[in-house]
Amino acid sequence: MSDREELEKLLQSKKRIEKKIAKYESELTHLRHLLSLVEKQITEKSFKVAETLPQKAPTPQPIEERVTSPPTTKQVIPLRATDGTFLGNIYVEEKEIRVVPSDSIKFNVNTPPFHQFLVGKVLSGMVSKDRNEAVSGTITPDEILTYRILQDGDILKEIIIRNYRDERRAITLKNSIRWTLEKMYEKMKL
């Protein structure tokens, strides 16, 4: 086989390989889109909206669990497990959400689903989406969601989320945080 024939075969092979790569990249893009739709549906169906839960008479909180909110707070949302246990408070401000766990429960950040779900999927997912929007010019870089997790060793002390931007996101964050803390609390009781 001459060098010319070998070169032609290599070029044909290159074209076939490029064609297959393009096909698989297209299929991969489509699969990623489908996965994001499924994950969105799972998230929506995983949480009960507060209005749909049965209303219980508020149980008084022990004095050590009462936390005064700063004067700039628009809304204070107490978080309770389904058994009524006080898990902490969410303070919603204009551009910031603060989560302060109950002093009586020591939430270890290594307890699932804290890192896997709340940090890995919800918070990191929102940051990633915001970065893409900033690159495309939809939002400015200073509008990208940021978060800080304050810990004492492995014990969660506070979560500070800035630039949540809209009410829909605030609701997603509140539901995700409540669900995560409740699952962590359930694992601690075992």
pLDDT in tens, 66-98: 444 444 567 888 999 888 889 999 998 888 999
For the range 122-131, what are the long-range contacts, defined as Cβ-Cβ under 8 Å and sequence gap of 24 or more? 122/172, 122/173, 122/176, 123/147, 123/161, 126/164, 126/169, 130/163
0.75 exceeded by pTM: no
For 68, the token pair is 């005064």
% of the chain with per-residue pLDDT over 70: 82
For 173, the token pair is 């964050």
**3 — pLDDT class (breaks 50, 70, 90):** confident
> CA 137 from chain center: how many Å?
23
CA 51/CA 55 separation, integer angstroms: 8
SS3 88: strand
**17 — pLDDT class (breaks 50, 70, 90):** very high
Strands 146-152 and 155-162 come out as antiparallel
> CA 115 from chain center: how many Å?
9
SS3 40: helix
Say what the pLDDT of residue 159 is: 94
pLDDT in tens, 94-142: 889 999 999 999 999 999 999 999 999 999 999 999 999 989 888 888 8
Contact 172, 43 (CB under 8 A): yes
> Residue 32 pLDDT > 80, yes or no?
no
Q: What are the start-end ranges of the E strands in 20-142?
A: 75-80, 86-92, 96-101
